[in-house]
Structure 1
Amino acid sequence: MTDLSYINSLSDKAIFKEIGNFVQQRRIKMKMTQNELAERAAISRSTLSLIERGGNIALKNLIKILRTLDALYVFGMFKVEDDLSPLQLAKGERIKRKRVRTRSDNDKQKDPGW
């Protein structure tokens, strides 16, 4: 399924279960036991079992598991693409925002509101 909009309606617990199911099915497809995967990923078998049951584990351990399963491609959705306006693109500008600043009360008073 390429449309992941259904994920917005899931609870955190249901998302953990989806992740656990993905890990388990990928492991089985690669014909690995839990012990083999845990050893290759340098984690405990109980940690692997926990994620496969939909439990909460450290992100570091999830990355180890996905790397071992050759499934780091799932993090491709986290890649941030620059949104350039046509004018910025034409000028070759690539200004990346680093923070968002809220206006303080003093700044609001200085603004003439034009």
Structure 2
Amino acid sequence: MMGKTNVDWVEMSDKAIIGAIGAYIRHQRLEQNKTQAQVAEEAGINRWTLSQIENGGSITLATLIQILRVLDLVHLLSIFTIEETISPIEYARLKEKEKKRARPKIKANDSNGDLGW
């Protein structure tokens, strides 16, 4: 039987979220067949710290990034990308200013009809 797959992060306590992050790290580490010692060494932390994190202990943002980097999961942080949006009114103003047709440039020294041959 399959458990609840959609996690309601808003209703979770901070401690529960930290526990879920630790469980995710453990799951990903095991999926990649890496030991705690391997991940800890590559992340520049000690194995005990990684063990604590996987068991729901608190984690600093810097440590989380180090672990995600070792597990090749840094792409998960893309959710924090800021995308600039433009309002429909500003977009309409920009479209108004857009060129509607091309006009040839007239050179100042060509006004006497000399073709330069």
- Normalised-by-shorter TM-score class: 0.7 to 0.9
TM-score (norm 1): 0.72
CA distance in 1, matches of 2:68, 2:11: 25
TM-score (norm 2): 0.70
> How do residues 38-49 of structure 1 correspond to structure 2 at under 5 angstroms?
38-49=40-51
Q: CA offsets, 1:3-38, max 9 Å, x none?
A: 66x110100000001100110000000000000110
CA distance in 1, matches of 2:60, 2:13: 19
More divergent stretch after superposition (21-30 vs 42-51): 42-51
CA distance in 1, matches of 2:67, 2:91: 39
Task: Report what 2:59 is aligned to.
Answer: 57
Task: State, as a whole percentage, how many aligned pairs show the same letter.
Answer: 40
Alignment RMSD (CA, Å): 1.6
The structure number with the bigger radius of gyration is 2
Q: Does 1:23 align with 2:25?
A: yes
CA distance in 2, matches of 1:54, 1:7: 16
How many residues align? The count is 90
Gaps of 5+ in 1: 93-114
